[in-house]
A and B are shown apart, each in its own frame.
Chain A
């Protein structure tokens, strides 16, 4: 298989796109050499981010790319949308806070699944979330 150097870009309009984003993330993770558990973690994180776009801010884009930070190889996931933004980031990052009512992983879950997590959001403008995971 050819090494995936070019980033993958998946637009999120519907639930089917969530699946495509997951699949793409898993493929990248597998090829980079992530183990089974980490592959599943990365797929779950992408799933949560894509689902949030689908539920609250569609359309948006999930970008998956290989990173190499001075020999530290890993995967970066970016979720970007031009939706309503998240008003209270502190609340959104709190454990146990959810509006969907489900016991989902949510944003705190994404943070736990990955090694690095960053979120930028502006009311009325949109949200950009970046999460990274490195090979051990």
Chain B
């Protein structure tokens, strides 16, 4: 708190000085003083009241109408003072909220980050970036003793905190999947039931689930309405769509998912993504899926992690560093 007496005296000195000389330096000092008052929490009506008192002191014979005009102004400023206080309080609350969200985002990050397994035959690269503080994208890798690698990538339609909360539930459901290996179609069917039962009907989740057999180099996969990935055949030197059909999770509890299978040859690549990758909006409009492929192709000789990092950087730049949707890109490359 600022001392009332002191404030009065200082304001009076500055005001008198200004009325004498009208010089800029006094105005500057007045500005500094007002900053000090703001810092001390003095509200506008208090400043005005001091001003009025000093005017009465300076001009004891002030026109009565002029004097009452000050009272009128004072009355009007009470409302501004309240709006100012409210604003300060809301600002404080916003800072608190942001801190809370930061903590929640950290919790979520530690929940969702899945270690990328080290595998002799596969080179794996992953990047996952939230558009806001919290992500609605999810991915995970699990490798079992029989050298099967399961890969999941999911996307909650929507962004921000609601999507992130939903994602945490998916993570929990995935963790409670039985220990032994399950067919991708069965995993999706089970998750579909969990989502249908537990998630608000306005929320949809898409997911791609794959199981890679490291001995036979076969990928078994199924998709619940997820953005199709790409398959690169080194033999044909061509990128193809990794199409898989299936309904979004949570629509209908009896949904069945079809399972697909692909033989992966040395040098082949599997690209999985969330729609934040393909729905990048640049100045020229949405980028085409083909452009994503071009970006990957240009960097194909690098390691999987280098490819995803560099594609992300390029797309981030194209969007002028503003992600509109959560971004997840995974590349699995069979080593030659």
Contacts and interface: CB of A to CB of B under 8 A. Distances in A.
A83 interface: no
Contact of A37 (B45, B89, B90): B45
Given A36-B52, A95-B90, A41 B85 contact: no
Contacts, number: 40
A43 B45 CA distance: 14
A124 interface: no
A51 to B, nearest CB: 13
Contact of A105 (B52, B79, B90): B79
Contacts of B74: 36-37, 40
Interface in B191-211: none
A112 interface: yes
Interface in A77-134: 95-96, 103-105, 108-109, 112-113
Chain B interface size band reads 10 to 19
B82 A37 contact: no
B83 interface: yes
Nearest to B93: A95
B46 interface: yes
Interface string B43-58: 0011011001000000
B71 interface: yes
A57 to B, nearest CB: 22
Interface string B23-64: 000000000000000000000011011001000000000000
Contacts of A96: 86, 90
A44 to B, nearest CB: 5
Interface centre among B52, B79, B82, B93 (most CB of A within 10 A): B82
Nearest to B88: A95
B52 A109 contact: no
A41 B75 CA distance: 8
A7 interface: no
Interface of A: 35-37, 40-41, 43-44, 95-96, 103-105, 108-109, 112-113
14 contacts: A36-B49, A37-B48, A37-B78, A40-B45, A40-B75, A41-B45, A43-B75, A44-B82, A96-B90, A103-B83, A104-B79, A105-B79, A105-B82, A109-B82
